Chain A
Amino acid sequence: MTAKILKSSFGLDFIQRTLKTTGVVLLVTFACGAYYFGFYDALAYFSAGIWSMVNLIFLSALVRTALKPEGVDKVATAVLALIKFPLLYGAGYFLLTVEIFRPIPLVIGLSLVILIMFLKAASRVLLNLDVVNQEDSTRGLA
């Protein structure tokens, strides 16, 4: 007799795997986009994708530093918050207001991390990758 158990891979490494996949997809699609849609649209898409990746890295670091039950590392939290909120958001505002970047490639680039995150999670659920069969341990006791 076998029993199905849930072996979840939804740990913090999920974010790292999402970032790696996003980086690869971003590089490949940047090359294709530069050829088919023009260099500046591809650059807008690439810049927005890099920005959203860096944003996710800082968000992840901030959550891991600030939200833990054993206490908050105040200095690290302050440094991360000072980098993320004024500098990263300033860079994001600069990207949004640059005249040569059209909004549609920016939106696609900003959404890429989220799209990949959603697809990775959906594929694990749809393909049952987190559910594994296990021999019933009580069989030998009978």
Chain B
Amino acid sequence: MEKVISGNYAAAYGAKLARPKFIAFYPITPQTTIVEKLADFSSSGELEAKFIPVESEHSAMAACIGAANTGVRTFTATSSQGLALMHELLFWAAGARLPIVMSNVHRALAPPTNLGADQTDSFAQRDTGWIQLECESAQEVLDSILQAYRIAEEVMLPCMVCHDAFYLSHTYEPVDIPEAELVDSYLPPYVPPFKLDSENRLTFYASSTRCPATQYEFRYHAQQAMERVPAVLRKADEHFYELFGRRYGIVEEYYLDGAELVIVAAGTMVSTVRRVVEEFRQRGERVGLLRIRMFRPFPKEEIRHLLKGVPKVAVFDRNISLGEGGILSQSIKSALYHTDQKPVVFGFIVGLCGVDITQDIVGDIVDYTLQQDTPEEDIIWTEVIR
């Protein structure tokens, strides 16, 4: 059934279709309409999940951890400050190998208070052990939440599905809402490999201070699980395509053939970049686009393979790791370190804190990058230059 809905409602429909048994919710703009919609589904009886209206995002994640330990599918949603408040428990959820799925609506971190889109919130959580998916459309938000459960429950790691504030959270688009029965065949009920109950007397997360090697090994296994994600994602994506006719991949290639310049981007800005790439191609300029859908684990192999031999790469970061630079840009450079025929990587800070990324801005960046042999600066602040 096709409906015109917002990105946030798409997230709520995705969560509903996944049939979680537990949802913890706490409001924060611009995420709030996700949990409002889920509350509607719950009160109308369309969704049977237990709901806890917690008193903070920190408690939202703690409640999900408690519930997930008993072996039920869980969901929550957050944004920006809320995600930052959860930071401690993001490590806990991943370390405990709980396949919690969470929507994160990218929003700038204060100060000052700013509701605009900015990827720093979740990119700054890159070391916590969560799988992270970046969405471009409302349809992809819904579909990715379903895929997220498939992937998370197979590798036993939590997964964050991210979309941009307002450009997607509050923008209405036509979205195909799949039939529940079809989704059930894609995503059967969750069967946990172990669970907390009063029958099997087990201790969960006993202190390892006296036996640190145990925890060292747990970290190794978590990394091994992360390394399985690309293959698991591909499989989940293909199965999704068979049932629903849509697939997204780990990364998406757009006009990469013979490209002299490849723009690397993630999130809603990708749609704008597509248009600009088309225009440049029509003028005979060999410009392409590589969209990062899976940000964690970082798709190093795909990047090495697709960017090998490309003369120039322009990375668009709607985020900043202060003291280092754009997070995507740093990750791309790191991925390319061991390859021959390394591209020249230009790192652009664009659209930070909800600044619009227009076709003009993208066009200017492409012109600049085509003209330059090497970047004048390690971090290029487009708005400051303009």
Chains A and B bind each other: no
Chain B residues engaging chain A, CB cutoff 8 angstroms: none
